[in-house]
Amino acid sequence: MEYWKKVDIGDYTKWTQKVNGYFNTIYHTRPRHELLRNKTFWNPVLIEDVNTYFPELVESTCQFGQINEVSILVIESHSTTLHIDHTVGLNHGVMARLNIPLLNCEGSCTSFFNISQKDYDTHQTTPGGTKYWTNEQRDTFIPVTSVELVQPTILRTSTPHAVFCKSCKFPRMALTVSFKDDIVRLLDE
């Protein structure tokens, strides 16, 4: 099974500063009811805002099909929980997402874990459908592979994974995108 694959979406660095500017100014002015979360790890972006403030994302990723959801991921500490991304709402059934580095991603890696069914069954679930395990559990599991997010990369987010920021600066920011036609097919080719 392939857990990740680096992909070419052109010179994405020409427009990622627009995303950072949007997040640091406009995003936080949006009424809270328009967004599921605010100032957290997972910061969903309205598709209308993508089209208005950084339409280059749509152009750069058109080879993957129509965008389903876009979120800005912000990490402020060494690591994330061991988790499987949301399994309800827009992300029901999504098995892979495209992640694009925005800021301070060098030195961070996404590690994937193959855990036993017994350990899998110990997960907890958030209201948003994210399955997660405690940090104590995460620290006892051994990753099967890891990838540093230094270019656009498809990640199998339906598999237990965690982001580790051992030598990166904070905040570490990335854009994550799911598509109506799940891009897991590109990992399974």
pTM here is: 0.91
Q: Is the pLDDT of residue 33 over 50?
A: no
Backbone angles phi, psi at 152, to 5 degrees: -55, 130
DSSP 9-43: -S-GGGTHHHHHHHHHTTGGGS-GGGSS-SSSSEE
Task: Give the Cα separation of 77 and 21 in Å (integer).
Answer: 22
Domain coverage including residue 128? 4-188
Task: Find the length of the chain.
Answer: 189
Tally of domains in the chain: 1
CATH number for the domain spanning 147: value is: 2.60.120
Q: How confident is the model at residue 38 (pLDDT cuts 50, 70, 90)?
A: very low
Least confident of 47-61, 65-79, 170-184: 65-79
